Structure 1
């Protein structure tokens, strides 16, 4: 199968996710900066989630530039990834609305962990389809960032029940790690 429909559908879902997150903001009734103060936790939540959605969009784009073709297993694995990503607006809003309460930060981290695991599954299923001598196999030889990220999410989830702001900081650190482009991937697609 050609991969164009999967890419277009995924791009559309990610665009909708970002749109839903920004629509959660209630417009203050007056035009003062003071009126924005209660929105600060929501704005922080939105910024972190926007960065994550952007990272997934970027990595998804790069991944499917390398993949030659898709099959039913890749389609289903990608759909599971989109399911977990589609829960980000809920978790983002809940966390921001409740000023980073323990449970909200833990649920947010769980969704981030499931997104990471799902993306790894998409990569593994695609690798199986592409074969051990494929360009994707060369890129996936080192999965250090993936492992560090997933472990960090679960550590942050555990910490969230005691120190939710430290967990939030860990989520931010993981996002910053992923903002650095994968040089192996960049070389293959340029």
Structure 2
């Protein structure tokens, strides 16, 4: 099966999740900086979750750029990833609107961990469908960031019960690690025998 429907559906779901999050933001009743400062925790949590959804969208797009076909297993693995991502708006609101208490902050990390594992499963399912000599296998390589992220999420979840801000700091750190541009896919696509693909 071609990848276009899978990618279009995933793009639509992620766009809806971002829309849900922005609609949850409360507009201050007053027009002062102090009123905006009261909404700052919610705004910062929105920014963090927006960045995470953006990272997943970006990496998902790049991963599918080097894949020619998908299987039924890939479709289910993709839905599994989207399920965990769909919980991000709920956990963002629960965490930020209650001033980042330990349990919601840890639960936010659990969802991030589950999404990371689901992405890894999707990647593994695609690798199985495409084969060890595929462009995707070449692009993934050792996947150091992909292996480090779950460890850091577990650390953040644990630290949330020690000091909530330490837990949040670890989640921010993982986002910053993934914000650094990853050129693996671009290199593979640029160097492929038939030249770069659109996208």
Which TM bucket (shorter chain)?
Answer: over 0.9
Q: What is the TM-score when the length of structure 2 is the normalising length?
A: 0.93
The residue that corresponds to 1:36 in the other structure is 36
Confirm or deny that 1:172 pairs with 2:172: yes
The residue that corresponds to 1:181 in the other structure is 181
What is the rounded CA distance, in whole Å, between the counterparts of 2:2 and 2:139 in structure 1? 21
More helix by share: 1
Task: Spell out, residue by residue over 1:74-101, the C-alpha distance to the aligned partner (whole angstroms, 9 max, x if none).
Answer: 0000000000000000010111101111
Look up the SS of the partner of 1:61 in the other structure: helix
Confirm or deny that 1:11 pairs with 2:19: no
Confirm or deny that 1:102 pairs with 2:102: yes
What is the rounded CA distance, in whole Å, between the counterparts of 2:67 and 2:181 in structure 1? 18
Q: How does 1:86-165 map to 2 (within 5 A)?
A: 86-165=86-165
Q: What is the TM-score when the length of structure 1 is the normalising length?
A: 0.97
Contact 2:70/2:126 (8 A) holds in 1: yes
What is the rounded CA distance, in whole Å, between the counterparts of 2:171 and 2:56 in structure 1? 14
Instruction: Tell me how far 1:189 sits from its aligned partner.
Output: 2.9
Point out where structure 1 has 5 or more consecutive residues left out of the alignment. Answer: none
Instruction: Tell me how far 1:66 sits from its aligned partner.
Output: 0.7
What is the rounded CA distance, in whole Å, between the counterparts of 2:171 and 2:177 in structure 1? 10
Confirm or deny that 1:25 pairs with 2:21: no
The residue that corresponds to 2:194 in the other structure is none
Look up the SS of the partner of 1:37 in the other structure: helix
What is the rounded CA distance, in whole Å, between the counterparts of 2:185 and 2:146 in structure 1? 14
Point out where structure 2 has 5 or more consecutive residues left out of the alignment. Answer: 191-199
What is the rounded CA distance, in whole Å, between the counterparts of 2:52 and 2:189 in structure 1? 22
Matched residues, number: 190
